[in-house]
């Protein structure tokens, strides 16, 4: 079985300085509750 | 073994009554011979498959992408009654296992599919069927949530296949190198996916809101069949900041889906399609695998905008149960021959707000068969 997650996340533009970044690599094993990505005010 | 012993005794007694002729000696080896040959063939096929998969793994480690290779065997898969096979598998795995045998069966399963038995919530003999064991819950605290409020967490246990930002006309996601599918095909043509017209790719106006709302008013049939030129998702581009992540769950993984963030689920769509296998080999050989298979799509809003989860079934894991809508039934036997049915939709109450789930809440689970 497969799960596809599609979402909007913050990107840098004139209104916002925060930016979403994935913190995973292809082939990584991941578990429920572990971070897929983060966004921080730069 | 007892069957073979009985068979031997029967053939020996028949041989002695025939005076031990040569033809009866031939029959004596027929069943064990055929069984050994079949086992050998299966072993060779399995070894070949493992060798191929290892080669793909090595190539990936070197940075070489696996490419789409249409396979004639994949075409023949369509001819198989995969739904019936899946339902039959579900029936078999829902049979009660004797208590004394349960730990042995589940330990064998764990050994074959690398399941961590230490985190299973109940003692092994507490699971009456393999199906119950498969959709097991975990011990309290086994899946702590990342405490960072500015992070999105994984909804499932699994392996990351693909991830990235969705860009360009048609909002395509790459299945494998050389083959992509559109997000609107995966989620449904009436999706609230934030899209803008292709001519306005860098636009930051209110246009996308209008277009997505307009799209949502049209039914699947009207968009895809009756008026294919009326709205063409392929000519539209996604808004900036739309991301995706594809996670594959192996048979030994924990098979429940949790919310990746605080989220309002507004709509559910159920697409009743095929039930092809969805392993990596299948992804390399079956075109449109993820948009052909039966799936449940949950769509809604989170504080950062749009969010959708598509739970895609497979032959062995054919049905999807929703914790937020237990009455939904998937992997049903179908009388109709028409494969391309419109998705069945349900808007969650209250209208426009939907059902609120917290980060880490369970929303769905995959079931065997």
Tens digit of each residue's pLDDT (9 = 90 or more) over B308-365: 999 999 999 989 999 999 999 999 887 655 556 789 999 998 887 899 999 999 999 9
Q: Where are the alpha helices (DSSP H) in chain B?
A: 2-17, 22-28, 30-61, 72-77, 82-93, 102-113, 130-134, 183-187, 207-217, 220-221, 280-285, 289-292
Least confidently predicted of A9-13, B87-91, B154-158: A9-13
Residues of A in contact with B152 (CB under 8 A): 7, 9, 20, 35-38
- Confirm if B330 and B296 have CB atoms less than 8 A apart: yes
- CA angle (B225, B330, B218) in 5-degree steps: 25
Name residue, tokens 């028409």. Answer: B338
Q: Does A36 touch chain B (CB under 8 A)?
A: yes
Greatest mean pLDDT range, B21-25, B58-62, B139-143, B272-276: B139-143
Of B151, B157, B255, the CB nearest to A35: B151
Can you tell me the mean pLDDT for B226-249? Answer: 71
Nearest to B281 by CA among B315, B308, B323, B311: B315
- CA angle (B362, B368, B369) in 5-degree steps: 130
pLDDT at B145 over 90: yes
Q: Does A21 touch chain B (CB under 8 A)?
A: no
Residues of A in contact with B145 (CB under 8 A): 33
- Confirm if B324 and B355 have CB atoms less than 8 A apart: yes
Of A3, A8, A39, the CB nearest to B150: A39
- The confidence score (pLDDT) of residue B17 equals 55
Can you tell me the mean pLDDT for B110-132? Answer: 94
- The confidence score (pLDDT) of residue B18 equals 53
Contact B143 A9 (CB under 8 A): no
The number of C-alpha atoms within 13 Å of B58 and in the hemisphere containing its C-beta is: 6
Chains A–B, number of C-beta pairs less than 8 Å apart: 177
As given in the structure block, the two tokens for residue B33 are: 């011979």
**Residue B288 binned pLDDT confidence (cut-offs 50, 70, 90):** confident
As given in the structure block, the two tokens for residue B26 are: 């031939």
Q: Does B183 touch chain A (CB under 8 A)?
A: yes
Residues of B in contact with A4 (CB under 8 A): 173, 186, 244-247, 290, 309-310, 312
Task: Summarize pLDDT for A8-37 with one digit per residue, the tens.
Answer: 999 887 777 788 999 999 989 999 999 999
pLDDT at B106 over 90: yes
Average model confidence (pLDDT) for chain B? 82
Contact B152 A34 (CB under 8 A): no
- The confidence score (pLDDT) of residue B207 equals 39
Q: Does A6 touch chain B (CB under 8 A)?
A: yes
- The confidence score (pLDDT) of residue B39 equals 85
Sign (positive or negative) of CA dihedral B194, B198, B203, B208: negative
Residues of B in contact with A16 (CB under 8 A): none
| Higher local confidence (pLDDT), B192 or B3 | B192
Least confidently predicted of B14-23, B97-106, B147-156, B280-289: B14-23
- The confidence score (pLDDT) of residue B47 equals 85
What residue of A is the nearest CA neighbor of B315? A1
Of A32, A37, A40, the CB nearest to B258: A32
């Amino acid at each position: 079985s497969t799960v596809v997650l599609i979402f909007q996340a913050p990107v840098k533009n004139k209104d916002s300085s925060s930016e979403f970044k994935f913190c995973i690599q292809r082939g990584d094993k991941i578990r429920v509750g572990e971070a897929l990505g983060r966004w921080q005010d730069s | 073994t007892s069957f073979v012993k009985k068979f031997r005794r029967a053939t020996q007694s028949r041989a002695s009554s025939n005076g031990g002729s040569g033809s009866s000696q031939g029959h004596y080896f027929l069943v064990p011979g055929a069984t050994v040959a079949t086992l050998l063939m299966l072993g060779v096929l399995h070894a070949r498959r493992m060798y191929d998969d290892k080669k793909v793994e090595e190539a990936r480690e070197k940075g070489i992408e696996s490419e789409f290779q249409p396979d004639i065997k994949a075409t023949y898969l369509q001819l198989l009654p995969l739904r019936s096979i899946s339902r039959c598998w579900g029936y078999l795995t829902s049979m009660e296992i004797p208590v004394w045998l349960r730990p042995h069966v589940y330990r064998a399963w764990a050994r074959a599919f690398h399941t961590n038995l230490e985190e299973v919530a109940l003692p092994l003999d507490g699971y009456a069927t393999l199906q119950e064991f498969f959709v097991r819950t975990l011990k309290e605290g086994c899946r702590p949530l990342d405490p960072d409020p500015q992070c999105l967490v994984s909804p499932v246990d699994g392996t990351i296949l693909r991830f990235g930002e969705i860009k360009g006309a048609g909002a395509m996601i790459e299945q494998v190198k050389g083959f992509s599918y559109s997000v609107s095909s995966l989620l449904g043509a009436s999706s609230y996916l934030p899209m803008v017209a292709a001519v306005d790719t860098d636009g930051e106006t209110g246009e996308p809101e209008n277009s997505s709302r307009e799209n949502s008013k049209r039914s699947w049939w009207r968009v895809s069949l009756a008026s294919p030129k009326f709205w063409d998702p392929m000519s539209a581009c996604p808004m900036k900041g739309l991301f995706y992540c594809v996670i594959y769950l192996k048979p030994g993984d924990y098979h429940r889906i949790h919310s990746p963030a605080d989220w309002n689920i507004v709509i559910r769509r159920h697409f009743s399609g095929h039930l092809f296998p969805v392993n990596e080999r299948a992804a390399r050989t079956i075109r449109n695998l993820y948009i052909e298979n039966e799936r449940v799509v949950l769509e809604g809003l989170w504080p950062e905008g749009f969010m959708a989860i598509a739970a895609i079934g497979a032959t062995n894991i054919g049905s999807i149960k929703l914790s937020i809508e237990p009455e939904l039934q998937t992997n049903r036997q179908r009388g109709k021959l028409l494969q391309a049915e419109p998705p069945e939709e349900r808007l969650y109450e209250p209208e426009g707000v939907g059902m609120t789930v917290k980060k880490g809440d369970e929303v769905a689970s995959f079931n065997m068969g």
